[in-house]
Amino acid sequence: MTKASKKRCQARRHKAPPKVAEVKKKAGLNARFSAYYRLVRLDKPIGIMLLLWPALWALWFAGEGHPRWGVVLIFIAGVILMRSAGCAINDFADRKIDGEVERTRQRLLITGEVSAAEALGVFIILSLLAFALVLLLNRVTLYISVVAVLLAASYPFMKRYTHLPQLVLGMAFGCAVPMAFTALTGSVSPLGWLLFCATVVWTLVYDTEYAMVDREDDLRIGVKSSAILFAEYDRLLIGLLQILMLLMLIAVGAQAGRGWLWYGGLFVAALFGLRQQYLIRDRQPQHCFAAFINNNCLGMSIFIGLLLDYIVNPAVAV
């Protein structure tokens, strides 16, 4: 690290954030709403979409192309609530390190727009709302949702202890898959567990791309991530994980008796995976972030292929 960069880091470290009370004095009701809106990242819905796509895959497989719309709406609302809750607890957990990372220096707990207690309160309220939604489903789904909340709450703290916090996030996000199966069928089939594993692997892929954005800052402050663990083999390992995910989804389609439109969706997803490899080729932070965002298109292409395949070939059951 150069002397100039060290001075900038020290300046960021010693610059105390404004007191929350002082910021609130200048903020009206609209400003407070805006602060909470940004705290839970509703202005950045990419996280909602990345969590939603596997849930929709699972609902359509479990419902054999015709999931009950009431259950679909519960899952969509639950995804929004839990992703928002996850953002709040993430900012609470990282409140002492976000100011050291270039990408997160303007988060609300750093600027003083939201207090740590408020962020924790938002997490609790949103989690309870999501829990209330799950009460509309069956008991098995409720049990899995508890595991999902515990994983989501622990994920932000894992970067202090393991280089694979992304794996914890993958398991948290992946819980939507067995929940969808139990909500519609009462149990999780082998196909459902295979789809869960594919979701975990996919999350490890895109969250590693995301972690590559902050790798230099994370190394400096001692935060762990899969991007740091993979080091110079990051592109290779991401590529292998992308292949593994696609192979799992091919196996899912074979078990479900899906047709050419499903595999066509997977082919388009593979093209997006190649696009991501191109974007991260030079490991530039802005390009790695673009690769992360690209996963929305990848997940959407898989769902569109599944949706169209069930429309064209509705008679084949799981």
255 neighbors 317 (Cβ within 8 angstroms): no
Query: Cα torsion for 145, 149, 155, 158, to the nearest 10°?
Result: -100
309 burial via Cβ count (<10 Å: 0-12, 13-18, 19+): buried
Q: Is 170 left (phi over 0), alpha (psi -120 to 50) or beta?
A: alpha
- What integer pLDDT is reported at residue 98 of this predicted model? 85
141, two tokens: 């789904």
Which residues have a Cβ under 8 Å from the Cβ of 213 and sit 6 or more positions away?
103, 285, 286, 288, 289, 292
Query: CA of 104: how far to CAs of 93, 108, 114, 304, in Å?
Result: 13, 9, 14, 34
Q: CA-CA distance, 227 to 53, in Å (whole number)? A: 24
Tell me the one-letter amino acid at 206. Answer: Y
Domains of the chain: which residue ranges?
21-27+41-312
Write out the DSSP string of 94-156: TTTTGGGSGGGTT-HHHHTSS-HHHHHHHHHHHHHHHHHHHTTS-HHHHHHHHHHHHHHHHHH
Task: State the pLDDT at residue 315.
Answer: 56
CA 3 to chain centre: 36
Secondary structure of residue 302 in the 3-state scheme:
helix
Of 233, 216, 256, nearest in space to 64 by CA: 256
> What is the DSSP secondary-structure string of 8-45?
HHHHHHH-PPPPHHHHHHT--HHHHHHHHHHHTTTT-T
Which residue shows structure tokens 């191109």? 278
Print pLDDT tens along the chain (318 aa). 444 444 444 444 444 454 544 545 455 778 888 899 999 999 999 999 999 999 999 999 999 999 999 999 999 999 999 999 999 999 998 888 888 888 888 888 998 899 999 999 999 999 999 999 999 999 999 999 999 999 988 988 898 889 999 999 999 999 999 999 999 999 999 999 999 999 999 999 999 999 999 999 889 988 999 999 999 999 999 999 999 999 999 999 999 999 999 999 999 999 999 999 999 999 999 999 999 999 999 999 999 999 999 999 885 444
- At 30 the pLDDT is 82
Q: What is the DSSP string of 187-227?
A: S--HHHHHHHHHHHHHHHHHHHHHHHHTHHHHHHHT---HH
Confidence (pTM): 0.88
- CA distances to 86, 148, 203, 300, 309 from 42, in Å: 12, 21, 20, 19, 32
The architecture CATH gives domain 21-27+41-312? Orthogonal Bundle (1.10)
Helix pair angle (176-185, 165-174), 10° resolution:
20
